[in-house]
Each structure stands twice: as structure tokens, then as C-alpha cells.
Chains A and B, each alone.
Chain A
Amino acid sequence: MQLGDENSADSGTLLALSDLVLRFKGHKNDVLDGVSLTVKRGEVVCVVGESGCGKSVTAMALMDLLPAGSATISSGNLDACGLNLDLTSTCLPSEMRGNRIAMIFQEPMSSLNPSFTIGDQIGEAVLRHKGGTRTQALDRAQEMLQRVGIANPEQRLSEYPHQLSGGMRQRVMIAMALANDPEILIADEPTTALDVTIQAQILDLIRDLRDETGMGTIMITHDLGVVAEIADTVAVMYGGQVVEQGAVGEIFNNPQHPYTIGLMSAMPRLDNPVGRLAIVPGTVPTIANMPQGCRFRTRCVFATQACAERPKLSQIAPEHDVACHYAPLEVNVSVAI
């Protein structure tokens, strides 16, 4: 994650995406409006936001997984795996995808092919990128299943996805993604479809694998609890813009953007129930109705005319950037009841 200029030269940086602007064909507004992300070695970066904020589109665009011709990229640069790609004209080479940058998805059932065995599906990723024989690939698959904590891996190799539970399928997805020792793992809502006890197991697994391999992880989620649990740094997105980003402690203990504060106030707490939940008024506008400038301004209780001009994402504290004209709010705004 980019936090001021001093980090951009850091040799530990595995992936740097800068100023990605993307528009879907047939739309008059950009879906992503200047998204930048940086991932360092061994770091878990969480991209958090509600449906329609562009968090998944960012990941799909990074991996070049959007349907061909569905979107135009008018700006964007990707620095990863020793390549410097101008995303407006080129995309991630397919020999990188699933090899040095891997991805896991939300729905483990629909991402696995129901008519191939687990072993074949993990082995395919190995054969595709590393070559070798089928036996070697299956050995590797078995080793990976062991590593993600699946009991009886040699038996599971010859089973089909329908024979596994949801948590196990997600483990298989992770095994498949990590089979080629990627430098970067992109996880798109990996635990959303799972029960909390299974979610806890998968988060533990991702954390252990991160410690073991030093891979960088981009985790996309809508759940602030998951973010607090696993992230090192956080980017909060709204309407295709990163509105606040920084170290996890900073974001949770010192949130600055009205959207972040709204999200945290709206979340029902386990420990401290209040009478009424604070809300974020209204709903997310459609892409066609996105306002100019700060895109949160139509729902923001503090917005003024000035917000028609887009606030820059700028530093407010060490390791903490926010895009709001009125941050910090307690200094710049008062409210009379």
C-alpha cells in the first residue's frame, strides 16, 4: 500500500498498482476512479467496502479476468513480478496468472469443476506452469492438500468437489492457488460463504501460509471483523475510490473518513450493544448516478458544495491517508442538536 513517497522505492514491494481508472462499455461513468494499492512481502492488505464499491473489479482487472472487451482502462500502471505494465495497452501475461499471482474466489463450489477430481484440478495448475509428468503433478497436489490441513490427502485426490464440504472446498481452492508458490495471493471474499467456525479456520490457515511463505496477500472483504482479524494494512473503498487507507491499527482506532466512521457505527457489536444503530443514510448510487468529486457526498451527513471537488488522498497521521476535505472532523465540523 502506498503511504507517502518513502515506501515506493522499498525493495520489499511485491505489487504496486497505481491510478487505475476503468469504465465498463456502454457506461458514462468510471467504475474505478483512480485506485492505487501496494503490497509488500508478507503483508496482508485488506480492501474493504460494500457491494458495488469496485473492490472485486479492481482484483479482476489486476488479474485480467474481466470478459474481453467489456471494459476500457484509461489509466493505470501495474508493477509486479519484475514487470512494469501500462494497463491501458497491455495486461498481465497469462504465464504469471495462477503462477506468480494467484487468486481464490468467494464461491468454492462454482469455482471448482464438478467433473474433474481434486487431484486433476490442482495438478492442472502445476502442469500448466511447471511442466513435468502427471505423477509429479499429483504428488505436488497431495503435498499441497496436506499443507492446507486436509486429512487423508491421498484419498481426497481422487474425489470430486461434491464430495467435500464448503470449508474443505475452500481449502482445495487455496491449495490450488498456492501450488506454484505464488508471490502474491488475491483472495476475493474467501470466507463469506462459510460459517463462522469454518471462517476462523480458513483465516488461521491464510495467516499461517503467509508466515511460512512470505507471500503478499490482497484480501477483498466486506466484513470489518475479518479485516481487524487478519489485515496489516487496510484500504476502504466507496464508489470506485479509495477513501481511506492505512495501517490496521490506525484505521480501527483512528478512523477519519465519514464513510469509515459510518460503517463502524452501523455494525452491530458483540460486546457493547447500543440502543439504536447509527446508519449510513440512503443507498449506494448506481454507476450512472455517481456524483462528481467525492462520490460519498450524496450520502455524507457532513458534505458541502466543496465536496464537488474531489478531495485528494493525503496523509493525516503516520501510515494513514484519508480523502476528505473536512478531516479531522472534530476540528473542522460541529453539530448542534
Chain B
Amino acid sequence: MKHDLIIEAIDVVKHFGDGGNWLSKSPVVQAVDGVSLQVRRGETFAIVGESGCGKSTLARVLMRLLSPTSGSVLFDGKEVSTTTGAALQSLRREMQFIFQDPFSSLNPRMTVGKLVGEPLEVHAPELSAQQRREKVADLLRKVGLRAEYAGRYPHEFSGGQRQRIGIARALASGPRLIIGDEPVSALDVSVQAQVINLLGDLSRDMGLTLVVIAHDLGVIRHMSDRVAVMYLGRIVESGTTEEVYTSPRHPYTKALLASIPTMGGKQGDRKATVLGEMPSPSAPPSGCRFHTRCPYAQAKCKTDAPALQGAGTDDHQVACHFWETIPNEAVIAETPQKTEAVEARFALYRNATDGGTVTHLLNQSTKRN
């Protein structure tokens, strides 16, 4: 089936460092090593992995903030990995970035109005100052902030609000693709939920395509349609989020999912703990890069690097020699059934936050104490 792709990476390689010379040795860091992926128009695509797996580098290559060592990136079918000048500037209008840290990614000396209006100055110079102010007010309302905030400075806002400002800034140029590098991981759970909902609403209402980089598998499950799991610069598994979470086929994906402490899981029934730590990307293991930590590794894994291959269903791909022989079992613990009273309590909470009218059946004189 041919899909309508918005961005596509073909065999992208990004290495840092040149290996040094005879006077000084400096290792080549193989941050991304042969990654191909396809993002369809209108979907939310997630890239997940632990620190050092190359997911942020990959995002920066897709964004053309870095140029790949080899391989190509196609945006709307056009090669963009070597674009420069005016072509690059118009590309920037089409794709925008949301950064992880809302504290360091906003210039503290600029007002919110200036921060959000800045992309407009660059990408829509034809707007008058008045029109620009209106557009900024519009954008702020869209991300759930008040238009009056335009005159304030970033330090006056909480983390969640700052992330909203960052989102408004990304939306200013009217992009079709937004890449978020850990867009919610610096936020507290209660605020994180607000921002996740906001991103979901925006992508639906504005027809945006989102590429989300994250390490939190719960967030990914919630936000994304399809997911790619990375380990040491390579994609080890990809597929629809549902498929990858309910029937992971790569041993690393299984281990990753099993490592997450969940509210439903009983204590001590975690199925597997991956041993050891991720090797350095400047000296990755030969063959399958996961073989040093894999409980199923065999001789072949040390020498031959497995390619991504179809795993049963349409979209599901896995890079493992032995995925068919590894038992296919669910690794996520099911949440135990809640009692009726607790179920009712959660429903009350949800309805009340959705704007329901709250009536207190208890008057003050009889209140519990």
C-alpha cells in the first residue's frame, strides 16, 4: 500500500568526530547508523529509546538542524538534507521544532509577544505590526494562554505555560510538520497531561503531522499512531503503537516495556530486567548491537547485523534474527479491575474536570472530620 508521506529518511547515517589524527585520537561517535523511516501525513509518529540511542540526533537530522553524514531526507518527496539559503528558509516555515526544556529554550529578555511574533517577522514579513499582534494573540489563545500575556516575560510563567509558549512559537509560521524532542518530559504529571491533550487537539484541528521523540513509553502510547524503537543508532522495531505495545517482537522492546514500573503491576513480578548498560556509541558491538545484553543472543548475532524485516502484520517490522523463535507474550501488566466505588470516583473526577456541575450532597454541618 502506498502512503502519502510527508517526511522520509533513507538510510540516514550521522557520525560525529573524525577519528582524530596521529597526534590525537578522538573516537567517531556513530550516533545514527543507517536509519530509514517514513512518516505519513497527518499521523503522530514517535521515536523512542534510552539516552544515547541517537533519537535526538535523528530528529535534528530530520529537521535539517544537522546534515547527515550519508543518506537522504525527503520532505514532500524533495531531497532536503543539503538545502541551504532561501530554500532552507522556506523549508523552516513548513517544519518546526518544540524543545524539551521550556526554561532554556525561551530568550529571557524577550516578551512573550516578541517570542511568538519573531517567526512571523521572518516568515510573514508582509504583516503590519498590528496584524502581527493580532496573529500573536490568536496563537496564544490557541495554546490556552491569555492574549494579555504577550507583554510578559518568560520568567513569569510556570513550566507548563512556558511549554505552551514554545508550542505557540512553533505554530506561528503555519508549519505542516512539528518535531518535538521530549516535549513533555520536563513537566509534572498533572501539567504534562494538559500539554499532551493540547498537542493532540492541535494536530487534529490543524491537520498537523507530529514527530515525537520521547523516552517515556506511557506518553508515547498515548500520543502516537506509529512508533519506532531505537537502540544504539539503529531502529530495532517499528509498527503501529498498538501492535508494538501489545505484541513486541524484539527482545529490546520487550525488556524496555517490562522495565517500566506501572501502577497496575504487582511488586516483584517484573518479567525481565535487562542486564548491564548500553555500550558507548563510539564503540558499538559488532553484529546485532543489542547482543551484549540480549538473553536470546546466539553466535550469529555477534557477527551478522539483522535487517528490519516484516513481522507478521502489514506495518510491523523487527530487526532480529530469531524473532520468530522468541515467545510472543504480552509484557505489560494488566491493571487490576477497580471496584465499583472507585470506578465511580474516577468517573466523578473526569466528569467534573470536563465541566460537569458539581453538587455536594453533604452539608457543612455533617462534613467528615
Contacts and interface: CB of A to CB of B under 8 A. Distances in A.
A223 B189 CA distance: 8
Contact of B218 (A207, A269, A305): A269
A326 B341 contact: no
B189 A267 contact: yes
A204 B273 contact: yes
A306 interface: yes
A4 interface: no
Contact of B353 (A204, A263, A301): A301
A278 interface: yes
B189 to A, nearest CB: 5
A325 B367 contact: yes
A223 B264 CA distance: 13
Contact of B50 (A197, A224, A267, A283): A197
B189 A197 contact: no
B128 interface: no
Given A265-B346, A266-B189, A279-B353, A312 B265 contact: no
Interface stretch (A18-26, A98-106, A254-262): A254-262
B158 A225 contact: no
A229 B356 CA distance: 34
A279 B193 contact: yes
7 contacts: A200-B259, A226-B261, A228-B262, A228-B265, A254-B339, A271-B333, A334-B361
A263 B189 contact: yes
Given A50-B190, A198-B277, A266-B193, A336 B349 contact: no
B351 A335 contact: yes
Contacts of A269: 218, 221-222, 262-264, 335
Given A197-B256, A199-B259, A269-B221, A229 B357 contact: no
A9 interface: no
B160 interface: yes
A329 interface: yes
Given A267-B218, A270-B217, A270-B221, A333 B188 contact: no
A268 B219 contact: yes
Interface of B: 50-51, 158-161, 188-194, 196-197, 200, 215-219, 221-223, 245, 255-265, 267-268, 270, 273-275, 277-278, 332-336, 338-339, 341-342, 344-346, 348-362, 364, 367-369
A196 B367 contact: no
Nearest to B257: A270
Contacts of A195: 50-51, 215, 278
A203 B335 contact: no
B188 A278 contact: no
A224 B263 contact: yes
B49 to A, nearest CB: 9
A271 B260 contact: no
A329 B360 CA distance: 9
A269 B196 CA distance: 13
Contacts of B364: 304-306
A252 B263 contact: yes
A201 interface: yes
A212 interface: no
B218 A270 contact: yes
A335 B348 contact: yes
Given A229-B261, A270-B257, A283-B161, 14 more contacts: A196-B259, A196-B260, A204-B273, A229-B270, A252-B263, A255-B345, A269-B264, A270-B245, A271-B262, A277-B193, A283-B191, A326-B362, A332-B362, A334-B361
Contacts, number: 221
Given A51-B188, A266-B192, A314-B368, A278 B362 contact: no
A203 B356 contact: no
A41 B230 CA distance: 42
A265 B350 contact: yes
A336 B159 CA distance: 33
Contacts of B355: 337
Contact of A225 (B200, B256, B263): B263
Interface in A317-337: 324-337
A165 interface: yes
A301 B358 contact: yes
A85 interface: no
A273 interface: yes
Contact of A261 (B188, B274, B346): B346
A253 B342 contact: yes
Contacts of B334: 271
A268 B218 contact: yes
A331 B345 CA distance: 9
Contacts of A326: 360, 362, 367-368
A67 interface: no
Contacts of B257: 270
A197 B356 contact: no
A200 to B, nearest CB: 4
Given A51-B188, A201-B273, A278 B349 contact: yes
